[in-house]
Amino acid sequence: MSDLTTERTVTAPYTPKAREILHEWVQTDSLRKHCEAVAACMGYFARRDGADEDLWVAVGLLHDLDFERYPDMDAGEEGHPYVGVRYLREQGWGEEVTRAILTHADYTGVEPVSTMERTLRAVDELSGFVTAVALVRPDKSIHTVQVSSVKKKMKDKAFAAKVSRDDIREGAVLLDRPLDDIMQDVIDALRESADRLGLQGVAVTAE
């Protein structure tokens, strides 16, 4: 990829600017909520690790900003995530943000090195999978999802078939933590943002 890095002009706080860009680029509710879910996880992990929560949340919000418009992952620099990264660089976003976005897609060849990059790779697929587990429950609530529920669905190859189980497992390796612990952290992160994500659930009446 050509070097389109410009002088960094975007400064903190990052989250409001990132959310504005997300809403400009992404119109579908499902993709917006996915980005919000990843952002919720990034913020949760940042707080746990004593990192810059504002920066990490912004990365989560922006990581798929171009996927709706440029979903062809075989399009090289004219596809996701290259188009989004090029736009962000032109807008003055720093290399820590744009590089992290490149690392979340393994086909870019940019390997995750920093803790933020490794975390993004680890929570991207897993947050979507846990969300799917919540939405198929009768109460559609993240608050009743347990690690055991997620692990059971992981074994069902027909469930959320497009989600790579290998990528989820690789995330635990990247963070050098047990997968069960990461699953619990993701569940807890999504619970904190359940209102924004539409995962508070619905009342279930007995028949």
How confident is the model at residue 206, as a pLDDT? 52
Average pLDDT value for the chain: 94
Q: What pLDDT was estimated at residue 176?
A: 97
What distance in Å separates the CA atoms of residue 111 and residue 58, rounded to the nearest whole number?
A: 20
pLDDT at 2 over 80: no
Residues 6+ apart with CB under 8 A from 97: 14, 55, 58, 59, 62, 88
Residues 92 and 30: their CA atoms lie apart, in Å, by 28
Backbone angles phi, psi at 180, to 5 degrees: -60, -40
Question: What tokens were used for 179?
Answer: 């997968």
Structure tokens belonging to residue 207: 């028949």
User: What's the average model confidence in pLDDT over 179-197?
Assistant: 98
Pairwise pLDDT comparison (6 vs 189), residue with the higher score: 189
Contact 26, 8 (CB under 8 A): no
Instruction: State which amino acid sits at residue 180.
Output: D
> What's the pLDDT score for residue 5?
45
Identity at 76, one-letter amino acid code: G
Residue 3 confidence (pLDDT): 44
Query: Mean pLDDT throughout 133-156?
Result: 98
Rounded CA-CA distance 201/173 in Å is 32
Within 8 A by CB and 6+ apart from 11, the residues are: none
The separation between the first and the last C-alpha atoms of the chain, rounded to the nearest angstrom, is 58
132 and 145 Cβ atoms separated by less than 8 Å = no
pLDDT value of position 130: 98
Q: Which residues lie below 8 Å from residue 166, measured CB to CB, with a gap of 6+?
A: none
Query: Going from the N-terminus, what domains does the chain have, and what CATH number goes with each?
Result: 15-196 (1.10.3210)
pLDDT tens, position by position, 61-117: 999 999 999 998 877 899 999 999 999 999 999 999 999 999 999 999 999 999 999
DSSP letters along 47-116, please? HHHT--HHHHHHHHHHTTTTTTT---TTSGGGSTTHHHHHHHHHTT--HHHHHHHHHTSGGG-----SHH
- Residue range 137-146: mean pLDDT, rounded: 97
